[in-house]
Amino acid sequence: MPELPEVETVRSTLEPRLVGRRFDEVEIADSRLTRPIDPAEVAAELTGERVAAVARRGKYLIVRFESGLVLLIHLRMTGSLVHTTNGAAVSDPHSRAVVKLDDGSDVTYRDVRRFGTWLVLAEDELDPYLSERLGLEPLDPGFTSRDLAARLEGRKTPVKAALLDQRTLAGVGNIYADEALWRARIHPRRPAGELDPAEIRALHRAIRRALEAGIERQGATLRDYRTPDGGSGRMQHEFKVYGREGEPCIRCGGPIEKTRLGGRGSWFCPICQR
């Protein structure tokens, strides 16, 4: 599933291609994308809108229009957006929506498992919608280790599960939670509320470094994730623990273990993560 680094890569790639462009034609072929709203209604609302900004909050992509209207996109499991300039939005069985821009280029939304969502909101509806669902942005310069401590305080839930909860922090998912916990030398099953101040500081730094490493490498392509120019991320070649069961820990040489935590595969080093 695309996490913060993948969605940020999509945002930064689309931004220069979308800002200032008008949505000339919008075709939404899958009613699951917009439900319970009729896709034809959403397509009509978006048609003629000119893009003012492309932003991100957590794993949400936010397309802001000059009119104040907002399109909020969540890629969920397998959603991706591809921008093509040569009318190459060819027939793809997994294409769910196509937007034709006023410069002749196309943005195609493709989604194999069809869990992604497109939601149109008025300007004043966006912040209440997001703040109900999301905690702080981990890469926001104002996000401190004290903020993280406050979010974890008193929680008996495993720290890995606390990091996956989008209301703790926005944008961290299964990959970057495992990577951050390895960097911080913290076992994923430790109760979140039991971390000491030094561990919280280490985790705060580790979360940021893991996410920044992902952004620098344009995210991780495991199966479906693509950058909007059709390329792959490179982060999957540099995972410290994620998906490396049985391989040596690059810090201590011991074998990486896999466990299931909250229904998700979790990778960690049993020697250096305490």
Of the candidate residues 114, 251, 258, 264, the single one contacting Zn ion (CB under 5 A): 251
* 271 in contact with Zn ion (CB under 5 A): yes
Would you say 178 and 241 are in contact if contact means Cβ atoms under 8 Å apart?
yes
- CB 254 to Zn ion: min, Å: 5
Query: CB of 39: closest distance to Zn ion in angstroms?
Result: 49
Stretch that binds Zn ion, among 55-63, 157-165, 173-181, 246-254 (CB under 5 A): 246-254
156 carries an active-site annotation: no
Count Cβ atoms within 10 A of the Cβ of residue 16 and give its class: 0-12 exposed, 13-18 middle, 19 or more buried: exposed
175 binds Zn ion (CB under 5 A): no
What is 254-267 written as a DSSP string?
Answer: PBPEEEEETTEEEE
Specify the DSSP element, H or E, that contains 199.
Answer: helix 197-216
249 binding Zn ion? (CB under 5 A): yes
250 is a contact residue toward Zn ion (CB under 5 A): no
Q: Kindly name the residue from 189, 208, 234, 264 that is annotated as catalytic.
A: 264
Residue from the set 29, 122, 252, 265 that interacts with Zn ion by CB under 5 A: 252
Q: Does 241 bind Zn ion (CB under 5 A)?
A: no
Q: Is 264 a catalytic residue?
A: yes
33 is a contact residue toward Zn ion (CB under 5 A): no
Interface mask toward Zn ion for 197-236; x: CB under 5 A: ----------------------------------------
Q: Is 133 a catalytic residue?
A: no
Candidate list 11, 17, 57, 59, residue with the active-site label: 59
**What single letter denotes the amino acid at residue 192?**
A
Give the residue with the Cβ less far from Zn ion, 83 or 244: 244
Among the listed residues 199, 166, 157, the one whose alpha carbon sits nearest the alpha carbon of residue 180: 199
Query: Exactly one of 3, 6, 8, 45 is catalytic; which is it?
Result: 3
Does residue 257 carry a catalytic annotation? no
Total interface residues for Zn ion by CB under 5 A = 7
Nearest to 203 by CA among 146, 141, 244: 146
Give the residue carrying structure tokens 């961290």.
172
Helix%, strand%, coil% for the chain, nearest 5? 30, 25, 45
Nearest-CB residue to Zn ion? 249
DSSP string, 146-198: HHHHHHHTT--SBHHHHHHSTTTBSS--HHHHHHHHHHHT--TTSBGGG--HH
Q: From the CB of 46, what's the least distance to Zn ion, in Å? A: 49
Q: What gap in Å lies between CA 205 and CA 214, rounded to an integer? A: 14
Nearest Cα to 92, choosing from 76, 81, 103? Answer: 81
For residue 256, state whether it binds Zn ion (rule: CB under 5 A): no
Strand 79-84 relative to strand 106-111: parallel, antiparallel, unpaired? antiparallel
Name the site residues for Zn ion (rule: CB under 5 A). Answer: 249, 251-252, 254, 269, 271-272
Q: So which residues are the catalytic ones?
A: 2-3, 59, 264
